[in-house]
Amino acid sequence: MLARYRAHTERRGADYDQVDRSKSKLNQRFIGDADWMEKALAEIERMKAKNFADELETLEKQNRQKVRMRRLAEGPRDPWRATKHGPMRELILTAHHDYFAGDIDAFIDPEAGNSREKEFVRLAKAWLLEHFGDDVIEAHFDRDEKTLHIHAIIMPRATVEITREGKTYGTRQMLQPSIHPMIKNYEAAQDSVGEWFKPIGLKRGQRHKSKWRAAIKKKKKPKPKVFHKPTRIWRQEEDVRLAKEAAKQERRAAKLAKKQRRMAKKERRVDARAAENAAAVQDVEAIKAVNDAIVSGALQPDGTPNPECAEEPDAVASLDRLAAVEDQAPSSVATAKAAVQKTAEGMRAAVREEERSRMEQAFRSTFIAIRRVVAVVRTVERILPVGAREKVTEALERIEVALPKTQRTAAREKVILERAKPRRGTSPKTGPDDRS
């Protein structure tokens, strides 16, 4: 018991998660010396030796030789009766954390220290000495945990008379906790402590034991007794509870992160849609501005400036509006102009196609008419004089030779025009076809 107590005092050999190591230097012993345990164990050995010597002397005087020889073989005995609580007692004195935390002096002047803690230690020392005297072999206070508390070891020394058949044969030095009223009756000790500390604003805790007895007396079911839970068990349960809480927090964080990702994705979609709408609005404004500039004559149908209308008021106003839109959305204006140019090119291509078709039709009609004329002339040439007939025949032969050549030239020009037409997804050729 003493070794375990010292290990706790020195913070050795156990898990002290509740201890703030930086404050352990503030712990202080106020009763007993540093070697108090060694002195206590040495005193117990002296008590054992003296009791053994006195017992042997008594047996010698009584001439009880057999018992004396048996006791010599057994050796000295511990100077206490074996109980589950042991021969010594540890007392712990403390108050609620809020009581010490409410000290206004420590708040005003931190260097002066907590006056409530000082008064509590002073009264605790006085109470221990008042009720246990020199039997308090060690007492100290701990300040490295949440709440200041005091530990004290009571070594209950007692001189017990050895009697037989009403006659006293001697005395024994024993450790007997019941000689102290405050140990014999813990409720009396709680009452005493409550009265002792009342001047500094503390009061006794609830009387659970008396309430329990009163309920039993009235044949009522009492509330379950409150048992002290060992720190080791409490810490294990607390570790399990904290692990479950951490897992719960992790699940909650994962769920929140997933929700945030969904919200971010939704926001990106909304932003993208808003950007698309804004771009569409800018495109509409750009098309309208370019169209107005073309209508006013400031721009030609292909989107290029029109110098002839550069000074007209409507043209100037439409160009100003177009410049304002271009400052806000240059790409939209460029796209609109490109669309206008593409439309103009398409229109010009359509006109060229229509003109080419018309010319082809005209060529075709001309060739047909020429062939008809040639047929008529060949019919008439047989009735012409010989000299005139030869000249007509020579002219017809030249026509017959030139006509196919003209047709081939027209066909070749048609092919060149077909190749020069821009195909879908390609740019128009910039030079003549080498195969023409």
In a domain, 167, yes or no: yes
The DSSP secondary-structure symbol of 87 reads: S
In a domain, 252, yes or no: no
- Take residue 29 and report the two structure tokens written for it: 């012993």
Q: Residue 361 is which amino acid?
A: Q
397/391 Cα distance (integer angstroms): 10
In a domain, 257, yes or no: no
**Cα angle at 355 between 351 and 358, to 5 degrees?**
140
Q: Residue 285 is which amino acid?
A: E
2/37 Cα distance (integer angstroms): 7
Question: What are the tens digits of pLDDT across the range 239-282?
Answer: 899 999 999 999 999 999 999 999 999 999 998 988 888 888 88
CA atoms within 13 A on the CB side of 23: 12
The residue among 97 and 16 whose pLDDT is bigger is 97
Q: How many domains does the chain have?
A: 2
Question: What are the tens digits of pLDDT across the range 71-88?
Answer: 999 999 999 998 888 899
Categorize the per-residue pLDDT at 430 as very low, low, confident or very high, splitting at 50, 70 and 90.
Answer: very low
In a domain, 407, yes or no: yes
Question: What are the tens digits of pLDDT across the range 33-71?
Answer: 999 999 999 999 999 999 999 989 888 888 889 999 999
Q: Where are the alpha helices (DSSP H) in 62-196?
A: 65-74, 97-101, 104-108, 115-132, 181-184, 186-196
- Take residue 329 and report the two structure tokens written for it: 């959305």
Give the pLDDT score at 431.
43
Strand order through the sheet with 89-94: 28-31, 136-142, 149-154, 89-94
In a domain, 17, yes or no: yes
**Total-model pTM:** 0.53
Q: Are residues 215 and 361 in the same domain?
A: no
Residue 411 has pLDDT above 70, yes or no: no
Of 177, 205, 222, the domain-final residue = 222
Which residues are CB-neighbours of 434 under 8 A, at least 6 positions away? none
**Cα angle at 85 between 79 and 89, to 5 degrees?**
80
In a domain, 364, yes or no: yes
Which residues are CB-neighbours of 80 under 8 A, at least 6 positions away? 86, 87, 174, 175, 176
Give, in order, the Cα–Cα distances in Å from 326 to each of 273, 300, 313, 320.
22, 18, 20, 10
- Report the number of secondary-structure helices (H) and strands (E) in the chain: 13, 6
In a domain, 194, yes or no: yes
In a domain, 315, yes or no: no
Tokens 């927090």 sit at which residue? 249
Of 175, 199, 222, the domain-final residue = 222
Contact 322, 361 (CB under 8 A): no
Of 191, 222, 253, the domain-final residue = 222
Can you give the residue range of the structural domain that contains 377?
357-420
What is residue 185's three-state secondary structure? coil
The percentage of the chain sitting over the pLDDT mark of 90, rounded to a whole number, equals: 33
Give, in order, the Cα–Cα distances in Å from 234 to each of 14, 18, 279, 374.
14, 12, 65, 126
The residue among 157 and 301 whose pLDDT is bigger is 157
Residue 94 has pLDDT above 80, yes or no: yes
The CATH number that applies at residue 140 is: 3.30.930.30
